[in-house]
Amino acid sequence: MAIFGELLATLKDHHGPNTQFQVIHEDLEMNDFNSLFKRMSGIIPDPPSYLLKMDNVYVLASGTNFYKQCIPSNSMHFMMSMTSVHWLSRTSTTFKNAIYKDAKSSTEETVALHKQAELDWETFLLRRSRELKRGGLLVVGICAVFEDRNTGENKYTMYSLVGLLNEVWKEYSESGKISKEEFVNTNISACYRTMKEMRKPFDNKTSPVSRSGLTLLSAEAVVNPDVFYNDWREKKDKEGIDDREEFARMYVSAHRNWSNSTFMNGLSDSRSLEEKEQIVDGLYDDVKKRISRMNPEIFKDDVKFIYLVIRKE
Ligand SMILES: C[S@@+](CC[C@H](N)C(=O)[O-])C[C@H]1O[C@@H](n2cnc3c(N)ncnc32)[C@H](O)[C@@H]1O
């Protein structure tokens, strides 16, 4: 809401108050678009809707998978996609010993993941290239992989949390709470990429993406601090309260929203929906308890992000 409010205010200053704007919010067909419209109109008041302060702005939604073309060719001036292109079009491999690539993953598993990621990144860009007008801009922000300065290890955003989810899920499969097959079938269908992988279609001037007219104006790697760690630390420093339970509660509720479906999908369809939900509720409860017993100084996970600004020539 905030960023589009500011963007539209700037554009209105530039083009005059009577200029009309169309904003299209895009997500998968399963997305809860009804909540989006309730937010736009103010029925859900927070965060405040940018529409309430402006005239001549028209909001639509598109429920189309972004690996397909979502809107007519040559029709968009500006597009923005935040924290979404790490999700792949399909699960490229089933990691046998983990829910996501880790140090023990086989070469075949790792290669399959990165091959799918490369293909998907190209598809995503080619679709957007068709949709953009000449001179139009595409801004992409993506959770990324960075090398840890201390250990030299490649760490992706959510490394601590994914490691812990994996540990508890593995224990469930060892104790028989879930089957071995269900563990193998639980995979995060995403890929955290490096700057080199994100730049590749642009650095190669003969790639289909470059030939489609897309050029990279800037590529920036940023580390955003862990907000839950900051809140915990502030309470500790200012009020003298070491509230690790609150840290764990906030962490799990924020990250359950993107990770829940991975575990629900991994469970066998011979189980009822109720049974699946009970197991997955138990997982997040156990993870929450474990985090609350950890030191946030060690568990904290800064968000590693890459921002790309791309133009259609
Ligand atoms: C972490 S959320 C980010 C949402 C929003 N862009 C933001 O920054 O707050 C990732 C979003 O990407 C959407 N998504 C994942 N794969 C997608 C696809 N293939 N097509 C369209 N949307 C997708 C998810 O449904 C989810 O809403």
How much is the pLDDT for 20? Answer: 97
Q: What is the largest CA-CA distance in the chain?
A: 65
Mutate to test the pocket of ligand 1, among 25, 69, 84 (most ligand atoms within 8 A of CB): 84
250 phi, psi to nearest 5 deg: -65, -45
CA 252 to CA 96: how far, in whole Å?
25
Q: State yes or no: pLDDT of 199 exceeds 90.
A: yes
Instruction: Say how many C-beta atoms besides its own lie within 10 A of residue 6's C-beta.
Output: 11
How much is the pLDDT for 24? Answer: 98
Ligand 1: residues with CB < 6 A are 27-28, 31, 65-67, 82-84, 87, 258
Ligand 1 centroid–CA 239 distance in Å is 37
pLDDT tens across 180-195, in order?
999 999 999 999 999 9
Work out which ligand 1 atom sits closest to the CA atom of 89.
19
Q: State yes or no: pLDDT of 264 exceeds 80.
A: yes
Instruction: Scan for tokens 């200053």, then name that residue.
Output: 13
How much is the pLDDT for 53? Answer: 87
Instruction: Say how many C-beta atoms besides its own lie within 10 A of residue 133's C-beta.
Output: 13
Give the total residue count for the chain: 313
Please give the residue that has the higher pLDDT: either 151 or 246.
246
Average pLDDT over residues 11-30: 96
Kindly indicate the confidence band of residue 306, based on its pLDDT and cuts at 50, 70 and 90: very high
CB contact set of 307 (below 8 Å; sequence gap of 6+): 139, 140, 141, 218, 219, 220, 222
pLDDT tens across 56-69, in order?
999 999 999 999 99
Share of the chain above pLDDT 90, in %: 87
CA 305 to CA 19: how far, in whole Å?
34
Ligand 1 centroid–CA 84 distance in Å is 4
pLDDT tens across 38-56, in order?
999 999 999 999 999 899 9
Tell me which H or E stretch contains 42. none
Q: Tell me the domains of the chain and their CATH numbers.
A: 64-312 (3.40.50)
pLDDT tens across 147-183, in order?
776 777 777 777 889 999 999 999 999 999 999 999 9
How much is the pLDDT for 151? Answer: 74
> Residue 42 is which amino acid?
G
Tell me which H or E stretch contains 306. strand 303-312
Ligand 1 centroid–CA 85 distance in Å is 8
Average pLDDT over residues 235-257: 95
